[in-house]
Structure 1
Amino acid sequence: MKKILINCFVLTACIAVWMGCKRDSDYIISTPSDFISNFDLRKLYTGADVTLTKENMRAATSLKGQVISDHSGNNLPAGLLVVQNLRATGNGIDSLRGIAINIGADAAKYIPGDSVHVKIEGGILKRVDGTLEITGVSGANVTKISSGRKLIINRGFINLINSQPDKYESTFLNIWKGTYNPSLAPSAVFAGSKTLNDGTGDITLFTQNSAVFANSTPPYSADYRGIVLNNMQDGKLQPRFYIRTLADAFVLSSTPDVPEIIITGFINDPQGSDTNAEYIQCRATKDINFADTKFTIVTNNNAGATLPVGYPAEGWATGSGKTYKLELTSGTVSKGEFFYVGASNKLINGPGSTSIAASKWIRSAAYNTNSPFFNSSNTTRGSSTTNLLANSGNAFGIAVFRGISVDKTTVPIDVVFVHNGGSLYDSANQVGYRIGNTDVYDVVDHNTNKAQPFFLSGSNIQKFTYQPNAGASDGSGQGYWFALGGVFDTTLGKWVKARSHIHIKLSSTSVISEIETTNATELK
């Protein structure tokens, strides 16, 4: 028995040794890639020039990617071929990086959408005037593989570009809703350095004096597609944005169009009865005498299953219990002043709560008995309602219009929506509730340049949400104030911080300061 145990032990030991001595052929044989990604390539530079070798590029000799430079506009530094690519492994957009390669005059031979392979072994990775470049490479090192490839383009938020200039350098970006800070004189031209603002920050838009479009007039507002190339100032990278041709500036507006009124808050479900208790808070961005300059606020209450004839084709002018119109035709407000529209009882949180009648009310209405006028003479579509704004879980909206004539084609100057339930948009027939250019909505898609004039069309899907944990089961009302915190710059005429909603629980003893200070929309 002892002999058997010894033999078993020896046999087990032999098997273990045999298993540990695997043959070379038992391992996977692989060949390192000839190509290095820009993501990994840029990591090689740590402040000093780097000669690119197989050793430091992990056996790679080349890079491949899509050309984003275009020298036809004569606005990029001469000789630079700018190529972007994604890392072979990784998580897509986060690995998108670009690199500038100085190949001399041959750079002008390549256009956006060309796919190229570039042999970079032996080149030198260095910063030239702040931009990371590969030098010591000639046009003979470049091979065009194909052309007409769709370019990867990401939205460029200026605050992120400024905080991470190396990450965004030499990549193709689209800066949305760009205007100038300060605003340009009518005689201004592109040439030189201009401060471009997108609502998140400022960046230098740089145009060479020799650019084809140097003497063209910049639009008031546009989407700008281009390339970030860094400049070194006081030892720090300072990003500069270059558009390549005039076609890179997609005009949104040639003249300023600043909303005189912005929506800053509302209560859709006060404590107790909603009848004549719901109201909307607005803020003026300039002095307004409503007798001279009239405006309209229309609410959309999408509660209930009844769909009137033509719904939603008539949009904000639907009437029939779906929309309610409040014309602002008297009174005055000063720039920056809060004012109120809606509830005839003028109480902060429904029956029995604090009166806010002493605040600035421009229009109040007993909306449960008064039918709204549409276009000041047509009342056929108007009907009274017990709720200006829904609280059933379906969508509701508020829109501000210039003038008092509102039909299905009228475009609001400001608009907000809560939730998206209900049939608010008919994509087949392209009808619904129109939006304007606001902090969250855009009448043109910034990536495709296609029209998207309605809520829920294209990228216009943003909406605020109902207070998720509020509401009394007995139906007595939630009593939550929707504060739409944001920052509107009256000098720039635009939102510099988009609105976001905060639900503030009100009581019967709440006072006006609770809805005009805490998380209220700011004006600069």
Structure 2
Amino acid sequence: MAETLIHEPYFNIQTSIMKHFKILSLLLFTMVAFWSCEKDNYPGAKISPFIAIYDLKTLYKGNDVKLTTGNMFGSDYITGVVVSDHSGGNMPEGLIAVQDRRRLNQLRGIAIPLGDEAKNFLPGDSIVVNVNGATLSRVNGIMQLLDVPLTSIQKVSSGNEIPVNRITTADIISNPDKYESTLGVIVKGGFDPLPAPTDVLSGDKLLNDGFGDITLHTNANASFADSAMPVSANFYGIVFNKMIGDSLAPVFNMRSGDDYVTLSSTIEITPIIITGFISDVKGGDGNYEYIQMMATQDIDFSKTPFSVVVTNNANASTPTGYPANGWATGDKRTYKINMSSGFAAKGTFFYVGGTGKSINGSGSTSIASSNWIRSYDYVNNDGDDFGRKTGGLFANSGNASGLAVFRGTEITVDTKPVDVIFISSGGSLYTAGPPEKGYKITNTDWYDVRNPITLENQPYYKSGANTLCMTYTTKDVGYFYVLGGEYNVKLGKWVKARTQSNVELTKESTLIEIEGEGATILKQ
């Protein structure tokens, strides 16, 4: 017993010392490892021999840069896919354009001057380029890799698929360096002024896609220079830049006659366009909701009737499920108001809605003096032909509401509107079936009955690429949804696509707040 009493404290002390020794050893090991990391952040790792074009272009600060392994972060090569094609005679002479997505999936391109050898590189060629010793320079507005001998380029494979990159003119204009030397497609492009039957692509043409204008350049000796200009088409091509003063000015170059796909050879003018609405006034909505529209031509509604349909897809709206009869479903899902009397002059606003005729609900400024083509008591009356009486035409949050204008007053499941817009995307709106069910759309600045890239049919909202919608505002405030854009009657298209602006109205607001700055403009 005494021996035990003598050795137990000794054992505890020894155990304690060993524990502290282990802790100190672990701390020492951690500190050594930390110091090692300070000297080499990636011990044992190897730097990639390839630098992304994204990173390469950031080295250029306005002056030529001689490329070395040092300033390329330890790399010597770029790799990418060729997108240029000299067979059509419309590329900058002697240049190949190469693009990659090696950095953060960001597409970037760069040009390499190769003289007569450039024609031997085709779209889809995968290449590796040793750029150590080359010079990064901007020549005639185009970022280029100079002094790259042909022996520094290795073709790895050919015929590789190049994913379609849809871009807008607004994208290019806002960031020309980002899209330079990359392949893209401008969708639903047209020309201003409209081409005459004898007009051809040769020269510089102003191309508009509803988001802005860009120069489409076609060399006089290009193989497709004498081709007729389409009214509406998808244009595939490469963005190159030129210098105007100190700024980059983008130019779009098609490569061959196969780089445009005609969508239409005729002009279809939309007679009525939706320009705004209020769906949730301050206070009770009953008979105070209204829709603002614009006539793009003189319309005598007694001779040329139209109709408006609103769809409400709130969970309480019946019938539930997908709308088997589309816009003509009726009950609490769709409500129709006919426009069969009155007159609207070309380029003027007119209104359809409840009997209140006030700008923001009960007790607000009267707008009865405006051109009301139809004010209808939807609280106490069913709709024209379909739709049950209701305290509110629109859903106010959550599931989608929609608004469509139709030529005539006979609407069936197959009737296509002349203009349409949706707010939000929730609810049972579309099913591919079979059978296919949904709300028909038409060709607008937001929707396409046929996918402009794949050319597949997509005749309903939420089918294919038809997913664009407005967003709901705060409830019970009195926001007027302004759909501001620019519609060109002569071209029969939106040259500035509609965008949503929310104008918060008061009880004292006046008409200028919904018809003034930011409202739709008709260009004649």
TM-score normalised over the length of structure 1? 0.83
1:392 and 1:56 map into 2 onto residues whose CA distance is 54
Offset of residue 461 of structure 1: 2.3
Amino acid at match of 2:198: S
Offset of residue 194 of structure 1: 0.4
In structure 2, the CA distance between the partners of 1:47 and 1:501, relative to structure 1 (3 Å rule), is closer
**1:66-215 → structure 2 map (5 Å cutoff):** 66-87=81-102, 90-93=103-106, 96-215=107-226
1:290 and 1:247 map into 2 onto residues whose CA distance is 45
1:274 and 1:63 map into 2 onto residues whose CA distance is 62
State the SS of the aligned residue for 2:198.
coil
Paired residue for 1:62?
A: 77
Amino acid at match of 1:162: I
Q: Give per-residue Cα distances to partners, 1:337-368, cap 9 Å, x unaligned.
A: 11111213434444555443321011232334
Paired residue for 1:463?
A: 469
In structure 2, the CA distance between the partners of 1:29 and 1:286, relative to structure 1 (3 Å rule), is same
State the SS of the aligned residue for 2:425.
coil
Paired residue for 2:58?
A: 43
**1:400-411 → structure 2 map (5 Å cutoff):** 400-411=405-416
2:55 and 2:282 map into 1 onto residues whose CA distance is 59
Paired residue for 1:297?
A: 308
Offset of residue 30 of structure 1: 4.1
Amino acid at match of 1:403: G
Paired residue for 1:4?
A: none
2:147 and 2:515 map into 1 onto residues whose CA distance is 62
Amino acid at match of 2:120: K
1:467 and 1:386 map into 2 onto residues whose CA distance is 19
1:397 paired with 2:402, answer yes
1:455 and 1:372 map into 2 onto residues whose CA distance is 23
1:441 paired with 2:441, answer no
Q: Give per-residue Cα distances to partners, 1:193-219, cap 9 Å, x unaligned.
A: 101122332211001122222111222
Amino acid at match of 2:445: D
Offset of residue 65 of structure 1: 0.6
Maintained 8 Å contact 2:56/2:72:
yes
Offset of residue 488 of structure 1: 3.7
2:347 and 2:364 map into 1 onto residues whose CA distance is 26
Paired residue for 2:504?
A: 504
Maintained 8 Å contact 2:315/2:427:
no
State the SS of the aligned residue for 1:344.
coil
Offset of residue 64 of structure 1: 0.5
1:399 and 1:26 map into 2 onto residues whose CA distance is 60
Paired residue for 2:423?
A: 418
In structure 2, the CA distance between the partners of 1:143 and 1:450, relative to structure 1 (3 Å rule), is farther
Maintained 8 Å contact 1:97/1:167:
yes
1:56 and 1:356 map into 2 onto residues whose CA distance is 67
1:269 paired with 2:301, answer no
Q: Give per-residue Cα distances to partners, 1:79-119, cap 9 Å, x unaligned.
A: 322110134xx4322xx211112223443333323321123
1:135 and 1:494 map into 2 onto residues whose CA distance is 42
In structure 2, the CA distance between the partners of 1:246 and 1:407, relative to structure 1 (3 Å rule), is farther
Amino acid at match of 1:400: V
Mean Cα deviation higher: 353-362 or 301-310: 301-310
Offset of residue 432 of structure 1: 0.4
Structure 1 spans left out of the alignment, 5+ residues = 1-7, 374-378, 472-477
1:26 and 1:170 map into 2 onto residues whose CA distance is 35
Offset of residue 165 of structure 1: 2.3
In structure 2, the CA distance between the partners of 1:142 and 1:461, relative to structure 1 (3 Å rule), is same
Structure 2 spans left out of the alignment, 5+ residues = 1-20
Maintained 8 Å contact 1:311/1:318:
no
2:245 and 2:514 map into 1 onto residues whose CA distance is 45
Paired residue for 1:431?
A: 437
In structure 2, the CA distance between the partners of 1:480 and 1:142, relative to structure 1 (3 Å rule), is closer
1:259 and 1:163 map into 2 onto residues whose CA distance is 30
Amino acid at match of 2:99: Q
1:26 and 1:268 map into 2 onto residues whose CA distance is 58
Amino acid at match of 1:398: L
Paired residue for 1:453?
A: 459
Mean Cα deviation higher: 189-198 or 242-251: 242-251
Mean Cα deviation higher: 219-228 or 26-35: 26-35
| CA RMSD across the alignment | 3.4
TM-score normalised over the length of structure 2? 0.83
Maintained 8 Å contact 1:104/1:138:
no
Q: Give per-residue Cα distances to partners, 1:424-458, cap 9 Å, x unaligned.
A: 11133332012223333233445544333221223
Maintained 8 Å contact 1:152/1:172:
no
Maintained 8 Å contact 1:298/1:325:
yes
State the SS of the aligned residue for 1:108.
helix
Mean Cα deviation higher: 153-162 or 186-195: 153-162
In structure 2, the CA distance between the partners of 1:292 and 1:108, relative to structure 1 (3 Å rule), is farther
Paired residue for 2:16?
A: none
Maintained 8 Å contact 1:62/1:117:
yes
Maintained 8 Å contact 1:288/1:332:
yes
Identity of aligned residues (%): 46
1:482 and 1:464 map into 2 onto residues whose CA distance is 9
2:513 and 2:180 map into 1 onto residues whose CA distance is 45
Paired residue for 1:331?
A: 342
Paired residue for 2:299?
A: 288
1:236 and 1:334 map into 2 onto residues whose CA distance is 43
Maintained 8 Å contact 1:267/1:279:
yes
Maintained 8 Å contact 1:502/1:519:
no
Offset of residue 192 of structure 1: 0.9
